[in-house]
Chain A
Amino acid sequence: MQWIKQLIGLLCLLIISSQLLYATPFIPKDDQQILETLPSDSPPARYLSSDDFSSSKNTNDPEQTSQLLERAYLQGDPRALGQARAQLDQTTDQSIETLMLRARALQSDHKFSEAKELLKQILSKDTANPDALLTLSSLLVVQGQFEEAMGYCKKLNDSSLSVYRAACEAQIQSMTGQITQAKQTLNELAAIAPQLDASTARWIYLIQADAALRSQDTSLADEVFSVIDAQTVPALMARADWLLSNGEYQEVIQLLKTHTDKDALLLRLITAQIKLRDPKSKQNLALMEERIEVWQIRKENAHMREQATYAMLANQIDSALQLARNNWQQQRETADIEIYTKAAIQAGSQKDIEVIRQFIKDTQFEYPALERDLRLGKISDCLNCPPSGMQTSSKDKPL
């Protein structure tokens, strides 16, 4: 009867989502009703009167483009990326600074090969350009090409760049079998992080958070999450991942309940809600489905990880595996290997499990809990929980 249940669930979801999709327009009754909250640093409106419609106020300010790219990253706001791209489209400037911004925009848009090509072009003009070296290295890390990535870290020769070089190397080491050594370096970097600029400090903390998650290092996680800036999307993602791996689902809900506008955070919220059998999970799944439908109409393929995660949560295992497999061809961060593993185990696909095992073997990718899952052929979402019977997750705590 399981399939009938699933069918009924699917139909319910279809009905909820069709209601959302074809929601009826309304005229708010209260003039003071707040309909939208704008990003704090959003640019002013372009047209103050109809006379402005024909005038062109195109800006070409690299500083502003850079800020937009930063906002896209920190606030998970793709509109800012579109705005940065619009500014870049309007300039013919071929300076290294502008080319770097273009490369970053391409990378953010998941156009990895174009981004790589451009970064290599920059390096052919300026072999020691630290921005290009570091961006290229991080791009290769995302794709799991650790050896090549390390090569670019090592090219950061200038002694004033030692922090960046050390962090760049430690990130790769932590993913390739030298996690203990990497943690030591990262600790030292974290100790001086408060004196560094905010983005460098955040980068170091995020590398630490990733290492803590993979090695289930509670004290490292506690340390990192007590200092990292709490409200940026990358930091929220890292913290939510840690909490999820510890079975602290109620905390995840508390952390993310006001962040349903960001898909990556919404998916984590739904995961926690499903674990706690919160009825809101159905509503949020429908919301997510609606957004995925728009990506599909727009023919955007930069969201395969999210699509795979959504499919897993909606219990569409085959589709989740296909998406996770396609995503794997594009990027291989911790979250990518995790969703691929979950989908492969759930679908019982030995072929995919073998691909992941081979990757772990080839790169010495350090993620003991995941390796255990692969070995046992089952998924333990709660990686850091004590064995069953001793579990003290938030589920058991009074709310």
Chain B
Amino acid sequence: MSALSRRIWSHSYRYLTLLLLAMTCTALQAHESSTAYLNLQTSNSKAAANINYNAKYELSLRDLALLVDIDSNQDHKVSWIEVKSQTPLIKQLIESQVKLEAGAQVCDMTSFAPLAINTRGGFNYLYTDFEINCATSIDNLDYQILAGIDANHRLILTGASDETPLQVLAVGENPLGSGAESGWLSTATNFLKSGIHHLLIGWDHLLFLFVLLIPAVYLRKQKALIAVTKPQAALLEVFWIATSFTLAHSITLSLAALQIVSIPARFIESLIALSIAFAALNNLVPLLRVRAVYLAFVFGLIHGFGFANVLVDLPLATSERVLALLSFNIGIELGQLVFIALVFPIALLLRHTRFYKTIIFYAGSVVSILIALWWFFQRAF
């Protein structure tokens, strides 16, 4: 036995709690922190005196287990029946710990749909869907789930049909609608991101941009398509298409988001689908002998109402709504630029090839018509 060993053996260990975290940093990077999601969307029953919201709240089953007993047989495995059997208590828990307020009055929670499960990041979340009935727009949120239990718990609040976060709340912090300086900044950045995100996940807007962009590398001469020789000309065309689309949708987006003009969402969504079908058909058979720039403007007006649906539903004051609108619009533009930057160089590169003409231009337009018509039937009927 070496001197060291002898020395060690000769002493008892008094400090048994040492070293728990001696190499902490390496291991603690395995993270799935406690996060819940709340999505609020005004429902369409505008005739009622009160404002109704459709709410979706999601809480990880691991978090739920800290609150309600969803492991009744204590085998550490949570089965669906164990979760379901706690439905009444789960509802009561949400009602008492997630309080949405409008003008200092607590909104009612009603019409709980049967519990469901959603998967996020590979983990199962309890998914609850319910109605919230408020006298006026929601202006405060008192969120107490996991208060005093997990200091790292966060609620990600999203609005409308979009998943982009509006706010990230810790328990008892940043109530909704607080007008602090940082609140303005965060509103602006959140809506900027929301705009980018909304455009990039909005398949219909992307498809519309796509059908407008693909002919931009061609000139139509006596029914024949001729690839432009100078990329600058095509680039200029795309610039004007994007600008006129932007101008047009900014007008209608502002009118709708500020609630000056209101058009039913279903009507607009169907019209958007038709506009895509029309634009794609116009690629194949020029129906309107006008430049794509004008087409982009007219249809931009329609699509603006579509973008606005995201903002109309938000529980925000008017002043904040204007800021949100501005940031959201800039975000949409950035998203549009990203899309153009991805698609257009490919179009330019391949414009002389048969592949581009037959597969991308002709087949792409046909497929776009089919998709758009499918959307139209889904939305209109």
With A107-B24, A295-B33 given, can you name 9 additional A-B contacts, CB distance below 8 Å?
A34-B79, A37-B78, A43-B66, A76-B29, A81-B28, A197-B13, A199-B22, A261-B122, A295-B31
Contact A34 B66 (CB under 8 A): no
Q: Which chain A residues lie closer than 8 Å to B66 at the CB level?
A: 42-43, 45-46, 83
Q: Of residues 350 to 382 in A, which have CB atoms within 8 Å of B's CB atoms?
A: none
Enumerate B11-55 residues with CB–CB distance to A below 8 Å.
11-35
- Chain B residue at minimum C-beta to C-beta distance from A21: B163
| CB contact under 8 A between A130 and B5, given known A30-B80, A35-B83, A45-B68 | no
Nearest B residue to A330 by beta-carbon distance?
A: B25
B124 CB–A CB distance under 8 Å: yes
> Is A385 close to B, CB under 8 A?
no
Would A79 and B62 count as touching, CB distance under 8 A? yes
Would A294 and B121 be within 8 Å (CB), given that A31-B81, A79-B63, A192-B5 are in contact? yes
Task: Please state if A200 and B27 are interface contacts (CB–CB under 8 Å).
Answer: no
Q: Considering the complex of A and B, which 8 residue pairs feature the smallest CB-CB distances, nearest first?
A: A76-B30, A82-B152, A262-B30, A85-B151, A82-B150, A31-B81, A36-B61, A25-B127
A255-305 CB contacts (< 8 Å) to partner B = 260-265, 287, 290-291, 294-295, 297-300, 302-303, 305
Decide if B5 touches A188 in the complex (CB within 8 Å): yes
A124 within 8 A of B: no
Residues from chain B with Cβ under 8 Å of A185 in the complex: 4
Segment with Cβ contacts to B, from A161-169, A222-230, A312-320: A161-169
Of A49-57, A211-219, A244-252, the one contacting chain B is A49-57
| Segment from A65-73, A340-348, A389-397 that makes contact with B | A65-73
Identity of the chain B residue whose Cβ is nearest the Cβ of A24 in the assembled complex: B118
Residues of chain B contacted by A335 (CB below 8 angstroms): 26
B side interface size, CB within 8 A: 82
Asked, given contacts A26-B116, A50-B89, A138-B24, whether A36 binds B13 with beta carbons under 8 Å apart, the answer is: no
Instruction: Tell me which residues across on chain A come within 8 A of B76, comparing CB atoms.
Output: 37-40, 42
Q: Report Cα–Cα, A278/B343, bound state, in Å.
A: 30
Could you tell me if B21 and A107 are in contact, using CB atoms closer than 8 angstroms? yes
How far apart are the CA atoms of A70 and B152 in the complex, in Å? 17
CB distance from B112 to the nearest CB of A (A): 14
**Identity of the chain A residue whose Cβ is nearest the Cβ of B77 in the assembled complex:** A34
Binding site for A on B (CB under 8 A): 2, 4-5, 7-9, 11-35, 61-63, 65-71, 76-81, 83-84, 89, 92-93, 96-97, 114-124, 127, 129, 146, 148-154, 156, 163, 165, 168, 201, 342, 346
A-B contact pairs, 17 of them (CB 8 A): A23-B118, A36-B62, A36-B77, A36-B124, A42-B66, A53-B96, A73-B27, A78-B34, A85-B151, A110-B28, A130-B18, A134-B18, A142-B24, A159-B7, A162-B7, A287-B121, A300-B31
- State A260–B26 Cα separation when bound (angstroms): 17
Q: Contact between B149 and A18 (Cβ–Cβ < 8 Å)?
A: no
Complex CA–CA separation, A88 to B149 (angstroms): 10
User: Measured between alpha carbons, how far is A45 from B120 in the docked complex, in Å?
Assistant: 23
For A264, the chain B residues whose CB sits under 8 A away are: 26-27, 29-30
Please measure, in the bound complex, the distance between the C-alpha atom of A48 and the C-alpha atom of B90, giving whole angstroms: 11
A387 adjacent to chain B (CB < 8 Å) = no
**Most B Cβ at <10 Å: residue of A25, A28, A74:** A25
Q: How many whole Å from B285's CB to the nearest CB in chain A?
A: 30
| C-alpha gap A36/B120 in the complex (Å) | 13
Q: Which residue of A lies closest to B90 (CB)?
A: A47
**Cβ 8 A contact of B70, one of A45, A160, A197:** A45
User: For the complex, is A12 an interface residue (Cβ under 8 Å from B)?
Assistant: no
C-alpha gap A82/B33 in the complex (Å) = 8
- Residue among B19, B77, B118, B127 with most chain A CB within 10 A: B19
A38 and B29 contact, Cβ closer than 8 Å, known pairs A27-B116, A131-B15, A287-B122: no
CB closest chain-A residue, reference B12: A160
User: Is A398 in the interface zone, CB < 8 Å from B?
Assistant: no
A98 CB within 8 Å of chain B? no
Judge whether A89 and B78 touch: CB under 8 Å. no
A122 within 8 A of B: no
Tell me if B80 and A31 are in contact (CB < 8 A).
yes
| Residue contact A85 to B84, C-beta cutoff 8 Å | no
Task: Give every chain B residue within 8 A of A31 (Cβ-Cβ).
Answer: 79-81, 84
A339 to B126, CA, bound (A): 36
Chain B, Cβ-Cβ closest to A34: B77
Q: Min CB distance, B210 to chain A, in Å?
A: 13
Inter-chain CA distance A327–B34, complex, in Å, is 23
A27 and B124 CA atoms in complex are apart in Å by 12
B117 touches A35 (CB 8 A): yes
Contact bitstring A1-45, B, C-beta under 8 A = 1, else 0: 000100100000000001011111111101111111111101111
Query: Which of A21, A196, A234 has the largest number of chain B CB atoms within 10 A?
Result: A234
